[in-house]
Amino acid sequence: MKKALWIPLLVILVLALGFGANYFLGSGKVNNIIERADSLMEKQDYKKASDLYAEASELKQDKKTDDLKTLSKEMDRLHDMKKTETPKITLEQVNKIKELPKHQFEKQITKSLLSVEKETEELQSQLQENEKNMKLVEEVLKNKELSNVDEVTKDGLMKFTIDHPLIKEQEKKWSEFVTKAKEEAKSFAKDQEEKKKLAEQKKREEQKKREEQQKQLAEKQKQKQEEKQKQEPVKTEASNVEEKKNNEATTLKVPNFQVGLSIVNSFLKAQGHPGTAVYVEEFETEDQYGYKVTDWSKHETVFYGVNKKTGALEKIE
């Protein structure tokens, strides 16, 4: 009876000892994992630390372990983010970590976050400054202010000192901008040179045209002057003829109508006509003085002309 009673008690004792041993052994294993994870945290190997904290958390539920698991995981994410993401996203992650429990790693994590913030701000500053300079080039190209290309693409304006994909992307874009700007500036300079040559050619042609017109005008004036000089002797000769004519007129044999009428009367008298002719009317031609007279001997009207130069009388029919 006593033997039967001790058997169950022995089984219970063995089981209790087993559970106790497992508990102490398991607890020791968890502590070992956590110690390794803590060591990795101090070395800032957050990825491996996160894996160990996760393993320890599965073996033993503990808030501190869970906190450190989350902290190491977010720090590992931050480590990757700062290498690839925009400053905005990285700083959001920094602010997120600031709110997490840090336990014994408060000082270390705070220092790391400050370092990341500084690096991120430098990245942001470089990105913004580069972007501003690229916009200047864009404006120059857009507004065709190609004479300013050298100024806005000179060395030292852009900085690509931070090893980050966004900086490398800017560097590539900047290289493309500069190449395009210099090509357009070269083309612009060539066009300007062509325009300058065309303008100079046009100016020369216009000058040549003016000189030709002046030459033609001078030639016409010369011809006109020569024509005038040729006409001078003719005019002089005409003047001489006119003067001679006037001189002759002053020495005409029959200078006026009265003398001519005397010639007419003398002629009639020589013909045996009694009396003298009665003057009725006079007229003049280029060579003669003309008279319309009444011949009383015949009781008729007759016309006589007396030559101015010779005094010869002629009956005009």
Q: Give the Cα separation of 220 and 223 in Å (integer).
A: 5
* 140, 153 contact by CB (below 8 A): no
Q: Summarize pLDDT for 8-34 with one digit per residue, the tens.
A: 655 565 554 444 444 444 578 999 999
Q: Which of 110-119, 203-212, 239-248, 274-283 has the lowest mean pLDDT?
A: 239-248
Q: Summarize pLDDT for 82-117 with one digit per residue, the tens.
A: 999 999 999 999 999 999 999 999 999 999 999 999
Q: Which of 60, 81, 70, 68 is nearest to 39 (CA)?
A: 68
For the segment(s) 257-316, the CATH number from 3.10.450, 3.30.1490, 3.40.50, 2.50.20 is: 3.10.450
Taking the chain, what is the end-to-end CA distance rounded to the nearest angstrom? 210
Structure tokens at 162: 């931070």
Residue 85 dihedral angles phi and psi, to the nearest 5°: -85, 170
Handedness of CA 11, 17, 19, 22 (dihedral sign): negative
Structure tokens at 15: 């089981």
Helical axes 63-84 vs 106-142, angle rounded to 10°: 20
pLDDT above 70: residue 153: yes
pTM: 0.54
What are the structural domain ranges in the chain?
257-316
